[in-house]
Amino acid sequence: MVRYLLNDPVGKSVLILMLNPLALLGLQHKPKCVYNGSMSRFCFCLAVLALLSCHRGGERDYAAVDFADGLAAIELQPSPTEVPPAGGLPMEVPPQAVLQAGEFPLWFQFTEYGPTLIETIEDARYSAALIPWPHAPHARFVLAYGDDLLLAVNRYGFIRLSPWPGTGGIGLHRVAGGEFWRQYTVGAFVRPGPNAYPVALLYRNEWFLYQDVPLPSPRLWTFGRYSTAPSAASLPSLDAFAPEDGWGLDVLRRGGSGYWYFRASRGASAGDADRQEIRMLRTQSLAMEGERISLGQFHNAARPEPISAASPLLLEMLAAVFSASGSGSAYVVSPEFQDIRRFATNAGGGMLRAFFSPGSGLVATHPEGGALYMEAGNFAPRRFSLPTLPDGFVYTGIGMVGDTVFATWEEQVGYSIGAAGFMAIRPAGI
């Protein structure tokens, strides 16, 4: 059994761990030990090893954790091995872990194995090579669907964070795309319809590093609650530009006009001047054929929307947050949106990352971690700070599941990314 709590009462991480490592091998020896202080890093490595073993179903026991106020904890779940047989009632796949964040954060770093628990954010420094962003593992996009927060992770796959009944914890679901995903860049993550589950677009990026790989086929992928693997998706407007015909797609977004905009190109890497072509297109529905537009129309569609385009509740909250923060623009994730939307006034002050839910309110952060929270119906922002990041690190996105705040982070140098991941915390007063 693996049982551990993470706490930071005096600014230095303390790890309490009770671990039966032989249980991972199916043996019956049951020693019990408690480590702290100088032994915490050794124990933490064993705990991370147990967490990474989640994908090896049937090789370890269920692990329960007693949650306490102010503590951050993880409860490991048995790995799902299969979905119900055809004809059976669908069953939601259990999470690989259940997170119970407290005042002290849980830190996860993206690796080739997916999100890996690290003891502190300082452990991420110098732990990954700086490489051009299209080829680096990081949270490319964040979306909300119902009560869930969804991440499209470059070079990996998907992460779903959802309420876990009974404990008040948050279920962590990993949906890995395997070797296929490691070859490509995530170019978009959108919900094709108001009630549709998100779809990710993969493309072959050749701006920073040419790869001798074919165009991705399939290039559209989605996932759900009843499977541990992503599945190929279809959108008729994009399917008309087949990779078999040499067409690559690298942009898909929904503009403030309500149209979907995308870009298709072919022939560039092959050096075939006769077939070289780039098209800018838009469509009212991704089930419909796209119409060609000018480059200017395409670029204009990427401009931020005025806050007057937001719903009355969001407009009032954004106005209050802009006034309190000195910022004049924000990327906003919401279960009401099919895509990440950007709203702006004429003021400067930097770009906020925000999450809005009509039921729970709005939370926003600067890249450096200064944050604001507003309850639904209360237009007085409350200030708080996300955990301090090392030099060269920034927060890139934010969201909420219940009363737990999740924030994605990256180590950035120019167009390159080193370490990247996400953090979970329950700030006081939220």
| pLDDT tens string 97-147 | 999 999 899 999 998 778 999 999 999 999 999 999 999 999 999 999 999
Q: pLDDT tens-digit profile of 388-410?
A: 999 999 999 999 999 899 999 99
In the block, tokens 């990996």 appear at: 156
* CA–CA separation, 105 and 404 (whole Å): 10
In the block, tokens 């490991």 appear at: 76
Quick check: 424 and 405 in contact, CB under 8 A?
yes
Which of 58-62, 159-163, 385-389, 419-423 is the least confident region? 58-62
Instruction: Name the nearest CA neighbour of 192 among 284, 303, 264.
Output: 284
pTM more than 0.75 = yes
Q: pLDDT tens-digit profile of 28-40?
A: 222 222 223 333 3
In the block, tokens 């990256």 appear at: 410
Task: Report DSSP letters for 146-159, one per residue.
Answer: TTEEEEEETTTEEE
| Predicted confidence (pLDDT) at residue 78 exceeds the cutoff of 60 | no
| Predicted confidence (pLDDT) at residue 192 exceeds the cutoff of 60 | yes
Q: What's the pLDDT at 383? A: 94
Q: What's the pLDDT at 68? A: 35
- Which DSSP category does 85 fall into? P
- Please give the structure tokens belonging to residue 237: 């407007």
Neighbour count for residue 297 (Cβ, 10 Å): 15
* CA–CA separation, 71 and 31 (whole Å): 25
Q: Which are the contacts of 124, defined by CB distance < 8 A and separation ≥ 6? A: 107, 109, 118, 390, 393, 411, 419, 421
Instruction: Name the nearest CA neighbour of 200 among 235, 170, 149.
Output: 235
Which of 35-44, 143-152, 253-262, 378-387 is the least confident region? 35-44
**Segment 379-390 mean pLDDT:** 93
Q: pLDDT tens-digit profile of 266-282?
A: 975 545 555 689 999 99
- Please give the structure tokens belonging to residue 192: 């094709």
**Segment 317-330 mean pLDDT:** 93
Q: What's the pLDDT at 210? A: 65
Pairing assessment for the beta strands 148-153 and 157-164 based on DSSP bridges: antiparallel
Q: pLDDT tens-digit profile of 208-217?
A: 766 688 999 9
Q: What's the pLDDT at 168? A: 78
Which of 70-79, 298-307, 385-394, 396-405 is the least confident region? 70-79
- pLDDT mean across residues, the chain: 80
Listing from the earlier edge strand, what are the strands of the sheet with 139-145? Answer: 14-19, 2-7, 72-76, 97-100, 169-176, 157-164, 148-153, 139-145
Q: Which are the contacts of 195, defined by CB distance < 8 A and separation ≥ 6? A: none
